[in-house]
DNA sequence: GGCTTATCCTGGGCGC
DNA sequence: TGCGCCCAGGATAAGC
């Protein structure tokens, strides 16, 4: 499931291939995959436009196109944005196919159909098109501080794991990297967020940044449904210390990794190393 | 207001 | 082998 490092890896792949490419035609194979506007307008506005640059905010991919047009993608659980060379075989669950003038295709493949695309109409902004963008918290690399976490967590009784998944507190953290960051910071995921001490928040903040940067460097994770824009798997899964390791020995203390549910999400932790 | 739960959706894994 | 059930999870709405 794509989180920030996976989305960033996809963005870098798209940024290498897309700028300069012009959209010749668009096929929408699944109407649900287009969040805004209607299908006719989506196709009508994009046809003939050229890609300028590809940016990212949290887990959103922001594509700038010519004539002040844009496109936003959120991959959710199983979405993939792939560049396919001429004649390359398409994956099994293509929802939107964009034919480019250079012979390549940009395809939005999404098994579980949770992913969404938005068109940014001329004169509008990414934030106006996708209001959730303006509510996102700081990026976990560089912009995040312990003071920000302290302010957001103050008085919160919900678990720190659940709070970390809140995109208005930190943008881009998902289930995998929340578990990994909390393990490395030595903090139990079910502790109330508001109970964490300043020293723990500093440690957590530092570990979030390290985990995310390391995952980006390794090309993201390959847990389940993710591949980069070129269809290449990431390497982060070998680095995971707790996620997906229920019942296996902790790499630090050898005690068994436990799995619990917090707000309906699978949560992995070591009861010995995390307090 | 704060928090939890349900919902969306489909493929894979598992038990029978 | 085939069937049915459960599980995974990001964002959002609904409910407590």
Averaged pLDDT score across all residues of chain A: 88
Average pLDDT over residues A202-220: 90
Confidence of residue A225 (pLDDT cuts 50, 70, 90): very low
User: Higher-confidence residue: A59 or A233?
Assistant: A59
Q: For A1-31, how does the pLDDT look when each residue is reduced to its tens digit (9 = 90+)?
A: 688 888 999 999 999 999 999 999 999 988 8
The pLDDT of residue A221? 60
The pLDDT of residue A223? 44
**A37 included as an active-site residue:** no
- CA distances to A16, A47, A97, A185 from A93, rounded to whole Å, are 24, 22, 11, 38
**A3 included as an active-site residue:** yes
- CA distances to A152, A197, A212 from A147, rounded to whole Å, are 9, 11, 19
pLDDT > 90: percent of chain A: 52
| Through-space separation of residue A54 CA and nucleotide C12 C1' in angstroms | 26
How far from each other are the two terminal CA atoms of chain A, in whole angstroms?
A: 27
Q: Which two tokens stand for residue A39?
A: 């299908």
User: Higher-confidence residue: A245 or A206?
Assistant: A206
Q: Tell me which nucleotides of strand B come within 7 A of a protein CB.
A: 2-11
Three-state SS annotation for A132-195: HHHHCCCCCCCCCCHHHHHHHHCCCCCEHHHHHHCCCCCCCCCHHHHHHHHHHHCCCCCCEHHH
The pLDDT of residue A170? 92
Task: Name the pTM for this structure.
Answer: 0.93
């Amino acid at each position: 499931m794509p989180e920030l490092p996976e989305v960033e890896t996809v963005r870098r792949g798209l940024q290498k291939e897309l700028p300069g490419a012009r959209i010749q035609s668009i096929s929408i194979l699944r109407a649900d995959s287009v969040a805004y506007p209607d299908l006719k307008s989506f196709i009508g506005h994009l046809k003939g436009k050229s890609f300028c640059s590809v940016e990212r905010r949290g887990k959103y991919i922001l594509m700038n196109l010519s004539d002040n047009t844009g496109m936003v993608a959120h991959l959710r659980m199983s979405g993939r944005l792939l560049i396919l060379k001429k004649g390359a075989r398409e994956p099994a669950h293509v929802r939107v196919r964009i034919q480019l003038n250079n012979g390549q295709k940009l395809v939005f493949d999404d098994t579980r159909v949770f992913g969404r695309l938005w068109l940014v109409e001329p004169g509008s902004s990414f934030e106006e098109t996708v209001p959730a963008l303006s509510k996102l918290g700081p990026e976990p690399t560089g912009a995040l501080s312990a003071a920000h976490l302290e302010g957001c967590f103050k008085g919160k009784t919900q678990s720190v794991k659940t709070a970390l998944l809140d995109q208005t507190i930190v943008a881009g953290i998902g289930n995998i990297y929340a578990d990994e960051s909390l393990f490395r910071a030595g903090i139990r995921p079910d502790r109330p967020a508001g109970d964490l001490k300043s020293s723990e928040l500093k440690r957590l903040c530092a570990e979030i940044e390290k985990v995310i940067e390391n995952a980006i460097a390794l090309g993201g994770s390959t847990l389940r449904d993710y591949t980069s824009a070129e269809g290449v798997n990431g390497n982060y899964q070998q680095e995971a210390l707790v996620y997906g390791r229920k019942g296996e020995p902790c790499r630090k203390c050898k005690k068994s990794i436990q799995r619990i549910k917090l707000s309906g999400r699978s949560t992995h932790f070591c009861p010995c190393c995390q307090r």
